[in-house]
Structure 1
């Protein structure tokens, strides 16, 4: 874009987006801190699902911590000098950290879905579950339900994120051109340069790969459940299948509602940026920013999603708001222990 003053934010950007981020911030911080506290007190952390959920809560808190910077950027970025400290902080700690943390949540959600699906590989009696193939793909899926693999997998994800973040910040600092644009809110920040576009394209491919993996898990489980319903009566094991199916469906809905619109629009955004049309440019940037806000909103809604995915979390949360006497405290502890044993048995 040759016209450096072409990009001008509308009230939808300078008013609506800061208000939305300001509303999402307290809900996300309080909800995820509550989830982290409950996990630390009641959750059997040795289980694979809680390893993934603990890392998911961490990524959510990281996304929520960037919301004040994003709100400040959209409210006043069109008045900040491009090389100012506020601009650098909003760009690096706001948009950049939020985006990389968002892909951590996508990777972990995909891992949770595979872990849920892989629970059906556990032997029921003398025969393994027919829902999971016994070939190489089945063996690979079984790894996602092993706590040791889950820990290493999450560590690798975070290391990749740290490397990407450090590389991007270093590149932006070394190649900054403060005099090229009059304000911090400019097309270079909003669209990114060539390395950022390449990274964004790769991230979009990774998202659609994760999306298709979760969709495949749901389709395979649905087909298997439909087959056994025709041939046998639904027993206790099959009710477990239904619970796993519901959990994978919740993850699929999250990916579809919160992340799919943004990743469908991103290639369109890059293609249409080639035209030096100022009104179109402003519309494209504002649509992108609102779809990014929709993706970030998922981190604030995750405690509600955890209520749908995990019964122990629901029981623990209920216990926080009910009076407990010393006599029935021991009884409640027994209930949590029994829940943990049952979940260990069926996962």
Structure 2
């Protein structure tokens, strides 16, 4: 394949604006997530399952933040790097690996948090309902309640890391060592690097479907919660638990908001991208690639803003952080 067939023209948005955004997100994300991880590991003594999931989420956030300098360098200099150079190989492998591992870890963890928050509420109410069906007692009372147990949450997070790494690493190695070498493009920033070949392209579509699946899990949790709330609305005890219901509803809405704003645009666009990228129109391909890269940046931006979201998801984190800043500002 000649150099012209693999060349993609970069605009100012990709070569200058996007790297600046990644550097800003990297600094913001490292500061916020390091502080959050310190609070979760050192300052919160009694850890719930939610804390286990959030600690896992912070770890994934730190991973993607560490990949941002690689990605920023790729967009700034990738069109001048020769294919096969050390810079190109390092950025293609580690940047791609860190970014996708973190994305799938975050998606799965957010889904687990949604299930955990919903299961916590249902478990408490089922223990007080004598007319609960056998299905409800088994599915909600026994299966889902495990998501609320800290030990199970810790093991589940370890399992998630194992599965994601075992899935993403082989695809990334094949993409970096085989697909790119077969294409033998002249420049690092090229069509095959941005669009992938058969294996990596299929893997990206599977990953896109997984994003949609996680969104459906969160949406189903929210729908089930609202349906359950309607079911017990006539109960006199609902007023006593109103704050708890509002808290669970807020948590599910926050997670839905994250998925809709950060991940759903990328999930919707990727099938369109692969359908339109098959044409020989180089100018249109360049525009499609730029849209894809900005949507990936939007998904990565969630990792940098998560510390703010933690204030909405966990009261203990909010209270601990507030006490730390109050002590730091105290004249004594």
TM over 0.5: yes
Among 263, 266, 275, the residue aligned to 1:262:
266
Q: How does 1:218-237 map to 2 (within 5 A)?
A: 218-232=222-236, 234-237=238-241
Matched, 1:144 2:144: no
Corresponding position of 2:9:
8
C-alpha distance in 2 between matches for 1:205 and 1:53 = 24
- Please report how far the alpha carbon of residue 298 of structure 1 lies from its aligned counterpart in structure 2 after TM superposition: 0.1
SS in structure 2 of the partner of residue 322 of structure 1:
helix
Corresponding position of 1:105:
106
C-alpha distance in 1 between matches for 2:216 and 2:106 = 16
Matched, 1:160 2:173: no
C-alpha distance in 1 between matches for 2:225 and 2:23 = 40
Q: Is the contact made by 2:114 and 2:255 (CA closer than 8 Å) also made in structure 1?
A: yes
C-alpha distance in 2 between matches for 1:177 and 1:60 = 31
Matched, 1:87 2:88: yes
C-alpha distance in 2 between matches for 1:71 and 1:96 = 15
Q: How does 1:300-311 map to 2 (within 5 A)?
A: 300-311=304-315
Corresponding position of 1:252:
256
Q: Report how many residues are paired.
A: 327
C-alpha distance in 2 between matches for 1:325 and 1:186 = 51
- Please report how far the alpha carbon of residue 223 of structure 1 lies from its aligned counterpart in structure 2 after TM superposition: 2.4
Q: Is the contact made by 1:83 and 1:178 (CA closer than 8 Å) also made in structure 2?
A: no
Among 209, 226, 240, the residue aligned to 2:244:
240
Corresponding position of 1:33:
34
Corresponding position of 1:276:
280
- Please report how far the alpha carbon of residue 233 of structure 1 lies from its aligned counterpart in structure 2 after TM superposition: 6.3
- Please report how far the alpha carbon of residue 273 of structure 1 lies from its aligned counterpart in structure 2 after TM superposition: 1.3
Q: How does 1:184-195 map to 2 (within 5 A)?
A: 184-195=188-199
- Please report how far the alpha carbon of residue 228 of structure 1 lies from its aligned counterpart in structure 2 after TM superposition: 3.1
Normalising by structure 1, what TM-score? 0.87
Q: Is the contact made by 1:4 and 1:182 (CA closer than 8 Å) also made in structure 2?
A: no
Q: Is the contact made by 2:126 and 2:141 (CA closer than 8 Å) also made in structure 1?
A: no
- Please report how far the alpha carbon of residue 161 of structure 1 lies from its aligned counterpart in structure 2 after TM superposition: 2.4
User: Which structure has the highest helix share of the two?
Assistant: 2
Q: Is the contact made by 1:80 and 1:184 (CA closer than 8 Å) also made in structure 2?
A: yes
Q: Is the contact made by 2:123 and 2:140 (CA closer than 8 Å) also made in structure 1?
A: no
Normalising by structure 2, what TM-score? 0.91
Unpaired segments ≥5 residues, structure 2: none
Higher mean displacement: 38-47 or 251-260: 38-47
Corresponding position of 1:120:
121
Relative to structure 1, the CA distance from residue 10 to residue 186 in structure 2 (aligned partners, 3 Å threshold; closer, same or farther) is same
Higher mean displacement: 259-268 or 311-320: 311-320
SS in structure 1 of the partner of residue 173 of structure 2:
helix
Relative to structure 1, the CA distance from residue 145 to residue 323 in structure 2 (aligned partners, 3 Å threshold; closer, same or farther) is closer
Pairwise CA RMSD: 2.5
Higher mean displacement: 64-73 or 157-166: 157-166
Q: Is the contact made by 2:117 and 2:248 (CA closer than 8 Å) also made in structure 1?
A: yes
Output one character per residue of 1:311-335: Cα deviation in whole Å (capped at 9) or x when no partner. Answer: 1111111111113899x9xxxxxxx
* Runs of at least 4 residues off by over 6 Å: 129-132
Relative to structure 1, the CA distance from residue 125 to residue 24 in structure 2 (aligned partners, 3 Å threshold; closer, same or farther) is closer
SS in structure 2 of the partner of residue 4 of structure 1:
helix
Corresponding position of 2:324:
320
C-alpha distance in 2 between matches for 1:273 and 1:325 = 55
